[in-house]
Amino acid sequence: MQKKIGKQVSGRIKVPEGKSIAVNFGLDFDACSVWYSIGFKTQSTMARGEFGAEVGVPRVLNLLDKYNIKATFFIPGHTVDTFPETCREIVKRGHEVGHHGYAHEGISDLSAEEEENVMKMGLEALSRIGVKPCGYRSPSWDYSPNTLKLMEKYGFKYDSSLMANDLYPYHPRYCEIHLDKANVFGPPDQVIEIPPSWFLDDFPPMEFIRGYRTGLCPVNDLYDRWVSIFDYAVDNCPGAVFALTNHPQTIGRAHMIQLLERVIQHVILRNGWIATMAEIADAYEEDS
């Protein structure tokens, strides 16, 4: 794709008749590995990852079943290898599974060889539970100079890691960074970017990490933020995508799973089209 090099190439989602915007309930099932990425390897943090697998995922799956919702789980290979039966249960219940690295690595600092090895390790782990993913999410929500090439090499249709748009999918471009002159953007890639957002993520506002993050925000603050963003999209952005990112070890807590149910009820009330990211990518139509 070589057109519009100087401009972001974006598009819209063609939703079914009677629906407002596309909605994805995304779950980053990081379990123990999320703690490695921020330098915590203690028994306490491993227990919090274990909670996500043993308590959080079952609660989430039961809630999704209650409303007949299919979600997208981005699962690191380390989680697959550590909690294989939990991951198989996700697949058994019909949810999409995407690639999410191996041990929640910060790929922007990896060499090309190291990043490709992580890519292959993640794919091999997912294959052990019968998954060949069409979607990728960087564990660090960041790219290296090699990430786009790797996604093309391994045949990914969509990505959900970058934030050059908030409500519309687009085609990501590599940015050549300069400090003494203008940055230079490359051509838009063929991969469809379904943008996530830190504002639509449960982990930063809710998780207490001693010496690192306070967390513990009021649940209603998070509900108000998520619903406000969703309502704005419904009222002002036809063809938009509302992509929520939750973590079983966070959203699976007693007070948080009730929050998620309230959000689901609001989305249904306003006729959101709830779909997997793969379904949303299939419904993407590029702006002319």
* Global confidence as pTM: 0.95
Q: What is the pLDDT of residues 184-221, one digit of tens each?
A: 999 999 999 999 999 999 999 999 998 888 999 999 99
- Helix, strand, coil proportions of the chain in percent (round to 5)? 40, 15, 45
Burial profile 48-86: b = 16 or more Cβ within 10 angstroms, e = fewer: bbbbbbbbbbebbbebbeeeebbbbbbbbbbbbbbbeeb
Average of per-residue pLDDT across 225-252: 98
| Position 273 pLDDT exceeds 70 | yes
| Position 2 pLDDT exceeds 60 | no
Architecture of domain 11-286: Alpha-Beta Barrel (3.20)
What span, in angstroms and rounded, lies between the C-alpha atoms of 148 and 124? Answer: 20
What span, in angstroms and rounded, lies between the C-alpha atoms of 285 and 263? Answer: 27
| Position 72 pLDDT exceeds 50 | yes
Average of per-residue pLDDT across 143-162: 97
Q: What is the pLDDT of residues 105-139, one digit of tens each?
A: 999 989 999 999 999 999 999 999 999 999 999 99
What distance, in Å, lies between the first and last C-alpha atoms of the chain?
Answer: 14
Coil, helix or strand at residue 80 = helix
Amino acid, res. 167: L
Q: According to the model, what pLDDT value does residue 210 have? A: 85
Q: According to the model, what pLDDT value does residue 5 have? A: 53
Q: According to the model, what pLDDT value does residue 105 have? A: 95
Instruction: Please state the domain extents for the chain.
Output: 11-286
| CA-closest candidate to residue 195, choices 3, 8, 6, 1 | 8
